[in-house]
Amino acid sequence: MKEIILVKYGEIILKGGNRPVFERALMKNIKNALQNIADIKMDIAQATIYIETEPDRMDAVCDRLEKVFGIVSVTRACVCEKDIESIKSAAISYLSGVMEKGTSFKVEAKRSDKKFPLDSIKIAQEVGGAIDDNIEGLEVDVHNPDVLVRVEVRDAAAYVYSTLNKRAGRCGMPTGTGGKATLLLSGGIDSPVSGYMIAKRGVEINAVNFFSYPYTSDRAKEKVIELARILSEYTSKINLFIVPFTDIQLKIRDKCPFEHMTLIMRRFMMRIAEIVAKKTSSAALITGESVGQVASQTLAALNVTNYVCSMPVLRPVIGMDKNEIVNIAREIGTFETSILPYEDCCTVFTPKHPTTNPKLDVIEKSERVLDVDELIKEAVAGIEKIEIYPE
């Protein structure tokens, strides 16, 4: 019996005249994601992408598709001839063995090929009757079935599957259809989640990390690389820019009031990230800030750090509690890496009593003793670019 994978997509369908652009992007992303997994044949028709592959690669392909943005569901289906007898016998052999005794089921049919002689209600009745007669121990329940069996009669063939073969996709929009943004990626929990959330909307991301060698170790750098790699499983390639930050931090520590250290540091980060963003054609920055989480994330502090850049700063976790962010981090697979105990550049130079209600003019005045432009120029000149690919 021949099996095929049906990929359904959601929001793209609402795109009107632009829909083919989104469909092509999704197909390209699927092809990229599967290139090291299996040889595939892919087709698109009637708002469904059809993927054929070797039987022993089916599971691996479905697993990989689970991480591709823009997909609403991934279903293994049995393909059969478009006549009711073939559909019935395909349904019986496909479902016997998988539907356990005592399971209740319902058949729903859809006939997009209107030339097919039976309408959808009739198809469902015929197939439901055949399953009931031939697979022992099942019950029909049209209101609240354990398993929903679907029959789709389409242009190319008929397909039979059940909710047992169907998995939810990630949803979102295909990567690359939403422009590009630059993520300030620390080794913490919040910024990888933020990158994921914006990437899910189809935005291609690259990442900037501020690195304070020798105050932070190579292991801290490896951790950031690993976080970017986990994100790249969803987005494909990510360019990671490692910015040498030690000189800037030492200058701030030596010349500015220590309680302003974090904020001034954050202002440097935003400025440098914006330079990287412009160079890489990004239209926005992304951070993992959440109101009130730490002193540098009060509204007054956010205003002070935001002031130095003109690009929009996307903060997708801004209104989330820590445990809500942690739940997403666990779900997307970044949590275990984020909690590895290596120091981050911010924690190395954190004042005990940071300002929580900073005034912009006060911070600007503290900062004025520094040659901001020169420090930025030096840091940018020392940037290391690392290209990161999914495993």
Residue nearest to ligand ATP (CB): 188
Q: Which two tokens stand for residue 137?
A: 């121990």
Min CB(301)–ligand ATP separation in Å: 9
The residue count for binding ligand ATP (CB under 6 A) is 21
Q: Which two tokens stand for residue 312?
A: 């929009």
Residue in the block written with tokens 């390209």: 28
Establish if 296 lies at the interface with ligand ATP (CB under 6 A): yes
Min CB(344)–Mg ion separation in Å: 5
CA distance 339 to 359: 33
Closer Cβ to ligand ATP, 116 or 210, answer by number: 210
Of 47, 126, 138, the residue nearest 97 (C-alpha): 138
Q: What x-and-dash track marks residues 179-198 binding Mg ion by CB under 5 A?
A: -------x-x----------
Min CB(278)–Mg ion separation in Å: 24
Min CB(287)–ligand ATP separation in Å: 4
Closer Cβ to ligand ATP, 29 or 287, answer by number: 287
Closer Cβ to Mg ion, 178 or 188, answer by number: 188
Select from ligand ATP, Mg ion, none the partner in contact with residue 238, using the beta carbon and a kind-dependent cut-off of 5 to 8 Å: none
The residue count for binding Mg ion (CB under 5 A) is 2
SS3 at position 265: helix
Segments in the chain forming alpha helices (H)? 19-34, 58-65, 84-95, 120-134, 190-200, 218-235, 246-255, 261-279, 299-306, 322-332, 335-338, 345-348, 360-367, 372-381
CA distance 49 to 174: 14
**Which residues touch 109 (CB under 8 Å, ≥6 apart)?**
120, 121, 123, 124, 127, 150, 151, 152, 153
Asked, as a colleague might, if the bond just before 214 is cis with ω within 30 of 0, I would say yes
Establish if 189 lies at the interface with ligand ATP (CB under 6 A): yes
Closer Cβ to ligand ATP, 165 or 296, answer by number: 296
Which residue among 105, 116, 210, 349 contacts ligand ATP (CB under 6 A)? 210
Select from Mg ion, ligand ATP, none the partner in contact with residue 189, using the beta carbon and a kind-dependent cut-off of 5 to 8 Å: ligand ATP
Q: Which two tokens stand for residue 42?
A: 């892919």
CA distance 162 to 147: 7
Segments in 218-298 forming alpha helices (H)? 218-235, 246-255, 261-279
Establish if 288 lies at the interface with ligand ATP (CB under 6 A): yes
Closer Cβ to Mg ion, 188 or 202, answer by number: 188
**Which residues touch 96 (CB under 8 Å, ≥6 apart)?**
134, 135
Residue nearest to Mg ion (CB): 188
Establish if 346 lies at the interface with ligand ATP (CB under 6 A): yes
Q: Where along the sequence are the contacts to ligand ATP (CB under 6 A)?
A: 184-186, 188-191, 208-210, 269, 287-289, 293-294, 296-297, 344-346
